[in-house]
């Protein structure tokens, strides 16, 4: 027992997990009980989110956090159901957070409410609030989203202050609006960091809402976004994937992966033949 706890301490120390101020504190009474979720609002703000705490949450163990951003004109409740991040089958041990947008749209959508405090301010404040009230592993905070929410993960990654607090970024059927600066909120200027910005995207070939090859004057081709993140991670401009393999035959699913600047698989993409603007599912499930 003693040896085991010494070993786990050594492991924690060696990978440098920083405890947050919420470590050692009981789960606040207005939060969901471990194993459930609840809708809440950020103190001193009108911004809302749903919070899921895993059944095995331990107030002394730094815990990973998965953000899941809803698509345009959807909301946090639907996103929880769609992404299944509160389902222990997919997420056995992480806190899941489903933020709500102001008006149904996230920054980067031309329809978003861009007034300050904006969505980036909200996510920065929300993550700080989570670190103050729960025991969080700051090296394992992840950003994922659907459609406009997927595009918003790029907005987060592009912001040096907020993006540097997240370990990796993922989008399902991401929508990237074709604005001069890629995302409509300023230049893409992530903070420099050795581990790069891991970026993952899933897209169906028959998506008519956010077409994989883009939409004239409206949305960018997904390949442009993948190559932008490859370039941000040290690959050259318009880099071709390092590998592009068939992982499923019928319907055809191709997995493309970029190695950049020694960072293996730092950008990854799943191209799903026959899938629309939908969350990818194992064949046979709806």
Ligand X SMILES: *[C@@H]1O[C@H](CO)[C@@H](O)[C@H](O)[C@H]1NC(C)=O
Report the interface residues with ligand X, using CB under 6 A.
120-121, 124, 159, 161-162, 185-186, 223, 241, 244, 254, 256, 269, 271
Residue closer to ligand X, measured from CB, 185 or 266:
185
Label each residue of the chain as H, E or C.
CHHHHHHHHHHHHHCCCCCCCCCCCCCCCCCCCCCEEEEEECCCCCCEEEEEECCCCCCCCCEEEEEEECCCCCCHHHHHHHHCCCCCCCCCCCEEEEECCCCCCCCCCCCCCCCCCCHHHHHHHHHHHHHHHCCEEEEEEEEEEECHHHHHHHHHHHEHHHHCCCCEEEEECCCCECCCCCCCCCCCECCCCCCCCCEEEEEECCCCCCCCCCECCCECCHHHHHHHHHHHCCCCCCCCCCEEEEEECCCCEEEEEEEECCEEEEEEEEEECCCCCCCCCCCCCC
**Could you tell me the smallest distance in angstroms from the CB atom of residue 105 to ligand X?**
17
Residue closer to ligand X, measured from CB, 6 or 191:
191
Residue closer to ligand X, measured from CB, 204 or 241:
241
Cα gap 203→11, rounded to integer Å? 37
**Could you tell me the smallest distance in angstroms from the CB atom of residue 190 to ligand X?**
10
**Could you tell me the smallest distance in angstroms from the CB atom of residue 285 to ligand X?**
24
**Could you tell me the smallest distance in angstroms from the CB atom of residue 127 to ligand X?**
11
**Could you tell me the smallest distance in angstroms from the CB atom of residue 269 to ligand X?**
5
**Could you tell me the smallest distance in angstroms from the CB atom of residue 186 to ligand X?**
4
Residue closer to ligand X, measured from CB, 20 or 159:
159
Residue closer to ligand X, measured from CB, 40 or 120:
120
Residue closer to ligand X, measured from CB, 135 or 158:
158
Cα gap 194→73, rounded to integer Å? 36
**Could you tell me the smallest distance in angstroms from the CB atom of residue 120 to ligand X?**
4
Residue closer to ligand X, measured from CB, 144 or 188:
188
């Amino acid at each position: 027992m003693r040896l085991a706890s010494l070993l786990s301490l050594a492991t924690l120390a060696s990978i440098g997990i920083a405890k947050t101020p919420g470590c050692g504190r009981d789960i606040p009474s207005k939060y969901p009980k471990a194993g459930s979720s609840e809708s809440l609002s950020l103190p001193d703000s009108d911004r809302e989110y749903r919070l899921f705490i895993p059944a095995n949450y331990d107030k002394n163990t730094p815990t990973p956090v998965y953000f899941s951003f809803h698509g345009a004109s959807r909301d946090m409740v639907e996103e929880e159901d769609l992404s299944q991040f509160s389902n222990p089958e997919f997420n056995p041990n992480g806190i899941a957070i489903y933020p709500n947008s102001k008006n149904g749209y996230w920054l980067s959508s031309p329809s978003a409410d861009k007034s300050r405090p904006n969505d980036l301010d909200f996510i920065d404040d929300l993550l700080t609030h989570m670190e103050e009230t729960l025991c969080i592993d700051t090296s394992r905070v992840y950003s994922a989203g659907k459609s406009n929410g997927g595009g918003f993960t790029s907005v987060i990654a592009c912001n040096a202050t907020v993006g540097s607090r997240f370990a990796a970024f993922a989008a399902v059927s991401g929508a990237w609006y074709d604005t001069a600066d890629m995302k409509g909120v300023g230049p893409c200027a992530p903070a420099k960091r050795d581990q790069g910005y891991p970026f993952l995207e899933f897209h169906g070939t028959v998506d008519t809402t956010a077409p994989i090859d883009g939409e004239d004057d409206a949305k960018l081709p997904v390949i442009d976004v993948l190559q932008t993140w490859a370039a941000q991670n040290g690959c050259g401009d318009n880099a071709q994937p390092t590998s592009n393999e068939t992982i499923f035959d019928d319907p055809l699913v191709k997995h493309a992966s970029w190695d950049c600047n020694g960072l293996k698989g730092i950008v990854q993409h799943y191209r799903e033949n026959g899938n629309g603007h939908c969350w990818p599912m194992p064949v046979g499930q709806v």
